[in-house]
Amino acid sequence: MCRLVFVLLFIHFHRTRVKNMFYHAYNGYLQYAYPFDELKPISCKGMDTWGSFALTLVDSLDTLVVLGNMSEFRRVSELVLSKIDVNANVNVSVFETNIRVIGGLLSAHMLSKMGGLTVEDGWPCSGPFLRLAERLAWKLLPAFNTDTGMPYGTINLRYGVHRKETPVTCTAGVGTFLLEFGALSRLTGNDFFEKIALKALEELWLHRSNLGMVGNHIDVKTGQWTAVDSGIGAGVDSYFEYLVKGGALFSHVRLLKQFKAYKAVIDKYMKHDDWFFWVSSYSGKVSMPVFQSLEAFWPGLLTLVGNIEEARRIMVNYYSVLRNYGFLPEFFNIPQMDPVHKRSGYPLRPGNLVYLYRATEDPLLLQIGAEMIEAIDHATKAKCGYATVHNVATHSLEDRMESFFLAETTKYLYLLFDPDNFLHNSGEEGTMISGPFGNCVINSGGYVYNTEAHPLDPSILYCCSSKRQKEFQTLAYLEDKLDVISLLDIRNEPTVKHPVETEAFQVLTTVKNDK
């Protein structure tokens, strides 16, 4: 009994602490940085980084709902809808705009009703957040107008791709669109977005090396790899993530098979004692024996595909670095067991322990989460928010707080210590709504997080999907055209049991009496 009370108090304490961390950073952003993209937490100023979207606010919308602050979600929703100008003369990252802005808008759209917004007729298949996300996606589409169908990395929202824009894009910048574009297609009924994302994924698959690997950067016009190092970290990471999550969310089985093939190659050439080195994609020889903090997603991804014990072992390796420095450095030299010079920072990246903890309930994962919270709150807290760690060895700081601190880091830590959160719903409950294609159930669990931790509700996607529309049209046709009474041969006559039914009843009665 005492142990149970201690565990409950431990969980409550850290959940409250994460919430306080979120609001310290969130309020600091609103007070000192809005409408700029990011907060400079030491000097208490704002700056635009990824396109002047009020990015930190967009990234925070669904976290407000996760924390249960529906009144603030309603208040700032209007700020977001009025702030974003999809026709601005600004150069933006196609990748970052997709995962942060379109992903954030789609999640806010799906959580609108739960967040207390008055939704319009036709929701969840229409709504202001959805329309804004769709308009922004159309602005990104010219980037995909290449011979290969793989996108440029940068685009101007007003004028499109500059004629001198480099065609070199990282692998993740090509393969991280399916969740958002697929969701847009299912919600709007326009399958063009999903097809565009699938085409880009297919091109990466077709351009694998002779060993079955992908490089780090590719020329989207020619399909030639310009950086042939292969790994699971920076520049590649979310490509693998979207093969699994996109394959599962949209039932694209071939994507799951592709991930399985990649994993076999990764285990053969890159894996060394549950660490992962960078190797040449053509020879398989080790080119860089380092761990990157962006690889911290891998145990969670393995958990999703059922490789639980392997995920545990890898997480223990990562924890050994965390315990020594308090944070995971951007690059960590494994043979020397030391952060790499000039790549030893920690930009407040998330360490998603949620998947593995939900699968195992291993208390060690709660301990790791608690240590992460302590390190962030103790070493990075600044006057107006939380600052990037410049060097994990000295804990020196930089005057920057990326928007993903509020979208991912605090959200995942909060969910780790909030076992009853609606996002953990395992399908035991849901909400019946009347949608444009008849009644359907939403909020029924199985949420899929994009790579910026914006949750997507698969039940809402189904409610608006073409499959659901066809089912609705078929039912309407049947109700209109068929005489169900005559079809079932139901008459206003006394019920007469069929001889076979009578015989079966007698047999069952005999068996029961014999007992």
Give CA–CA dist 455/461, Å, rounded. Answer: 12
What is the residue whose two structure tokens read 């005999």?
510
Residue 497's Cβ-count burial label (10 Å; 0-12, 13-18, 19+) is exposed
Give CA–CA dist 313/319, Å, rounded. Answer: 10
Q: Count the neighbouring beta carbons within 10 Å of the beta carbon of residue 199.
A: 14
Q: List 225's β-bridge partners, or say none.
A: 218
Give CA–CA dist 460/106, Å, rounded. Answer: 11
Q: Pick from 383, 382, 376, 379: which is nearest to 395 by CA?
A: 379
Angle between helix axes 70-83 and 55-66 (nearest 10 degrees) is 160
For residue 186 the two structure tokens come to: 């299912």
- Give the DSSP letter of residue 150: P
Confirm or deny that 451 is annotated as ligand binding: yes
The four Cα atoms 241, 356, 10, 456 give a dihedral, to 10 degrees, of 40
Beta strands in 94-200 (DSSP E): 154-156, 168-170
Beta strands at 271-272 and 229-230: parallel, antiparallel or unpaired:
unpaired
Q: What's the one-letter identity of residue 29?
A: Y
Q: What's the one-letter identity of residue 123?
A: W
What is the residue whose two structure tokens read 């007469």?
496
Give CA–CA dist 109/97, Å, rounded. Answer: 17
Q: Count the neighbouring beta carbons within 10 Å of the beta carbon of residue 402.
A: 23
For residue 436 the two structure tokens come to: 């444009």
CA-to-CA dists, residue 215 to 67, 178, 204, 233, 328, angstroms: 39, 20, 9, 11, 24
Q: What's the one-letter identity of residue 137?
A: A
For the chain, state the CA radius of gyration: 26
Binding residues: 451
Binding residues for Ca(2+): 451
